[in-house]
Amino acid sequence: MIRITTALRFLASAALLLNLAACATSQKWAVSGGDRSDGVVRLSYEYPEFQQADVSDTQAMKIALGRCAGWGYDDAKPVPGQTRQCSNMEGANCNLWTVTREYQCTATHGAFATNLSR
């Protein structure tokens, strides 16, 4: 009887830990769009319903800087705000969300990107 009780306590503890771990998911930013001539980079990540996304602003900035540099710009600045859109509906509930943030590429006078429209 003691073994069964101990085993049940262990299983209950393991189930609780798994549920707590599922509340926060680590997501990664990815380039989801943009416009070279306007110098705008769009980054997005997805997360499931009932979970908190754990994303890195530092990672997002590095990705935006890399894309801007590839286009000939010197820097990237985050545009204030972000959008959250339902990516997948299940019945009346959204079970997958997409968050998108924009970055504005900037260039000093004389940089390659500033000469693209000339």
Q: What is the rounded CA–CA span in Å between residue 68 and residue 62?
A: 10
Domain spans, the chain: 25-115
What pLDDT is attached to residue 109?
A: 63
Q: What is the mean pLDDT of residues 14-30?
A: 57
Q: What percent of the chain has pLDDT over 90?
A: 60
41-54: buried (b, 16+ CB within 10 Å) or exposed (e) per residue? bbbbbbbeeeeeee
Per-residue pLDDT tens for 63-105? Answer: 999 999 999 999 999 999 999 999 999 899 999 999 999 999 9
